[in-house]
Amino acid sequence: MEERVSIIGIIVENVESTDKLNELLHSYGNYIIGRMGIPYQKKNVNVISIALDAPVDVINTLSGKIGQLDGISSKVVCSKA
């Protein structure tokens, strides 16, 4: 399957779910290029970006699993090549 470079943007509104999120990201660690997290105290959320190099189905599966966590949402942006 074709691999793409992508970014998953994650907004965490429920910090109770961060342990599950970190476990999930750890299980996909071989695809992760890097990650950046920014706590935004004014709005009481955390903003995380995950850079990946992975097959499209892996990217979509990970994003879907992240989106199923309570109080966490995610969106994906993929390269065209």
The pLDDT profile of the chain, 81 residues, written as one tens digit per residue, is 789 999 999 999 999 999 999 999 999 999 999 999 999 999 999 999 999 999 999 999 999 999 999 999 999 999 987
Domain spans of the chain, in order of start: 3-78
Task: Report pLDDT for 8.
Answer: 97
Task: Report pLDDT for 80.
Answer: 85
What letter represents residue 66's amino acid? Answer: I
First vs last C-alpha separation in the chain: 13
Buried b (16+ CB within 10 A) or exposed e, 44-77: ebbebebebebeeebbeebbebbeebeebebebe
Rounded CA separation 74/62 (Å): 10
In CATH, the number for domain 3-78 is 3.30.70.1150
- By the 8 A CB rule, do 61 and 6 touch? no
